[in-house]
């Protein structure tokens, strides 16, 4: 059955190629740091399951050490004149190529359901995304006829632009696991419920909504905040004591958490990675662009819980 193993193999090969091309790039003064960083990530993808927990821990420490030394951007890109000529030559058909990955991801997600046993049903989206990448590359190679190494060379260029931020989302997810082991959630929940004035329904709604947003900002993830805040305030106070509608309390509480996601660099894949991908000097530029939407929307969510959960 096709599942994560094949997806990780593909990702491992891609990172290995980025490592090799970094090693070859002598315009980059720190090319060996880049090579080691992408190489270790390739090792993690290809052989992570055989390294053992401690081995993986050491691998993470090495990645962190390399990031602290500082990665450097390697050789950057083609000249604008050539790209404009290419754009004029290929025209709007370029957009069709851009649609291959999303269309295959969509078609696979829906279609593989009808082929039970072919693709692991839990990983169908990742498998379809990978398939889309392979297909788009095949079509692109046949149509645009680039040098064989060109896609990987361009991929290495974009990867360098992202830099160490590439693994920040995975690091934060792992930190969440350690926090869970240490019981951070329970402590935060107890603290939050201690702040609510006795008998105040509005106080409880406010603490629940703000708590969801704030704890999401700290953890970078509303999924981590929801069980904590729901167990500390949502369930005992809003649902049991004040008889709020559980569906409203849960659903809109989660969305209050999403407002927190918009306001924190800890949600690295949404907020920091795009800033790196777009070459923004300020790593927090995307967060800053989102705060003026997130704050009024948080107020709306708190009001919605207040009005809809207690009819």
* Positions in 241-280 near another protein (CB under 8 A): 246-248, 250-252, 254-255, 258, 261-262, 265-266, 268-275, 277-278, 280
Rounded CA-CA distance 134/169 in Å is 24
Please identify which residue in 36, 124, 159, 212 interacts with another protein, judged by CB under 8 A: 159
Contact criterion met (CB below 8 Å) for 220 and 267: yes
Please identify which residue in 120, 175, 242, 306 interacts with another protein, judged by CB under 8 A: 175
Residue 25 in contact with another protein, rule: CB under 8 A: no
Q: Contacts with another protein: how many residues (CB under 8 A)?
A: 141
Nearest distance in Å: CB 32, another protein:
18
Rounded CA-CA distance 268/284 in Å is 10
Residue 10 in contact with another protein, rule: CB under 8 A: yes
Residue 142 in contact with another protein, rule: CB under 8 A: no
Nearest distance in Å: CB 200, another protein:
23
Nearest distance in Å: CB 199, another protein:
23
Per-residue x/- marks for another protein, 66-105, CB under 8 A? -xx--------xx-x--xxxxxxxxxx-xx-xx--xxx-x
Contact criterion met (CB below 8 Å) for 207 and 196: yes
Contact criterion met (CB below 8 Å) for 30 and 72: yes
**What's the angle, vertex CA 15, arms to CA 66 and CA 25, rounded to 5?**
70
Closer residue to another protein (CB): 133 or 206: 133
Rounded CA-CA distance 109/234 in Å is 34
Residue 206 in contact with another protein, rule: CB under 8 A: no
Contact criterion met (CB below 8 Å) for 298 and 306: no
Rg (alpha carbons) of the chain, rounded to whole number: 23
Is residue 223 helix, strand or coil?
Answer: helix
Nearest distance in Å: CB 124, another protein:
11
């Amino acid at each position: 059955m096709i599942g994560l193993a094949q997806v990780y193999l593909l990702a491992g090969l891609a990172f290995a190629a980025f490592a090799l091309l970094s090693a070859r790039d002598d315009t980059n003064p720190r090319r060996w740091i880049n090579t080691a960083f992408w190489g270790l990530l390739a090792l993690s993808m290809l052989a992570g399951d055989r390294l053992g927990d401690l081995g993986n821990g050491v691998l993470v420490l090495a990645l962190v050490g390399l990031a602290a030394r500082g990665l450097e951007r390697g050789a950057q890109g083609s000249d604008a004149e050539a790209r404009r000529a290419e754009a004029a030559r290929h025209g709007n058909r370029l957009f069709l190529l851009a649609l291959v990955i999303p269309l295959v991801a969509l078609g696979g997600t829906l279609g593989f359901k009808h082929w039970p046993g072919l693709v692991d049903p839990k990983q169908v989206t990742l498998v379809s995304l990978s398939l889309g990448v392979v297909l788009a590359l095949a079509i692109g190679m046949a149509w645009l006829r680039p040098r064989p190494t060109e896609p990987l060379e361009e991929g290495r260029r974009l990867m360098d632009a992202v830099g160490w931020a590439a693994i920040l989302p995975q690091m934060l997810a792992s930190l969440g696991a350690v926090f869970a082991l240490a019981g951070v959630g329970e402590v935060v929940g107890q603290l939050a419920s201690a702040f609510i004035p006795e008998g105040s329904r509005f106080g409880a709604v406010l603490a629940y909504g703000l708590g969801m947003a704030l704890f999401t900002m700290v953890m970078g993830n509303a999924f981590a905040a929801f069980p904590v805040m729901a167990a500390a305030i949502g369930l005992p106070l809003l649902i049991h004591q004040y008889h709020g509608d559980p569906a409203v309390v849960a659903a809109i509480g989660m969305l209050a958490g999403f407002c927190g996601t918009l306001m924190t660099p800890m949600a690295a894949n949404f907020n920091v990675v795009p800033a790196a991908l777009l070459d923004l000097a300020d790593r927090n530029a995307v967060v800053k662009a989102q705060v003026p939407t997130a704050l009024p929307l948080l107020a709306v969510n708190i009001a919605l819980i207040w009005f809809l959960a207690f009819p």
